[in-house]
Amino acid sequence: MRERVASFACVTAPTGSGLLAELLTTDRIKVPLVASSKDDVLRELVTLAVPGADATAIATITDAVRERERLLSTGIGGGIAIPHGRTAAVETLVLAAGVARVPVPFDALDGQPVSLFFLLLGPEHVAGAHVKALGRISRLLRHESVRTALQQAETPQRFLERLAGAEAV
């Protein structure tokens, strides 16, 4: 039997533009992340994404992300991972991000550790917006200059400014 957990409403892009900088807020960016293992990074990002969630909700959401990871690692290479999952425990898309100063082993497709993370969570019934956001993240991070700028951000505010600047180009 599936356990019911509280559902968390999260901020979505108010203009409908789909800009990542509008899905992300400084309180959902962590520079630096403290976790040093894949599982701990997932838990740290989920906790960041849904502040105020109880332990049961954190576990349920983290399990959804882990389930997706079991299919294929979301470590896409180049020091980037975009873990994601869909779960009834969130009501809208939510994005969190973090930078690990010491790269974390993440079973990335290129075999290299990861230092730049974007976590995307969405409700089970919103597949289209979820896929669109994943595509936008991956397209933006194809540019080495963007990856480097984000990895070198010293604060959540600088991270968000650099993300917004990259999207404006």
Number of domains within the chain? 1
Q: Is 102 among the domain residues?
A: yes
Q: Is residue 1 situated within a structural domain?
A: no
Residue 18: the pLDDT is: 57
CB 8 within 8 A of CB 91: yes
**pLDDT by position in tens, the chain (length 169):** 333 334 444 433 333 445 798 899 999 999 999 999 999 999 999 999 999 999 999 999 999 999 999 999 999 999 999 999 999 999 999 999 999 999 999 999 999 999 999 999 999 988 888 999 999 999 999 999 999 999 999 999 999 999 999 998 8
| Residue 93, domain extent | 20-164
Catalytic, 130? Answer no
Structure tokens at 143: 């540019």
Burial zone of 88 (CB within 10 Å; 0-12 exposed, 13-18 middle, 19+ buried): middle
Q: Give CA–CA dist 114/106, Å, rounded.
A: 6
Among 84, 125, 130, 143, the active-site one is: 84
Cα separation, 50 vs 58, in Å, equals 8
Kindly state whether residue 67 falls inside one of the protein's structural domains: yes
pTM for the whole structure: 0.89
CATH code, domain carrying 147:
3.40.930.10
In a domain, residue 155? The reply is: yes
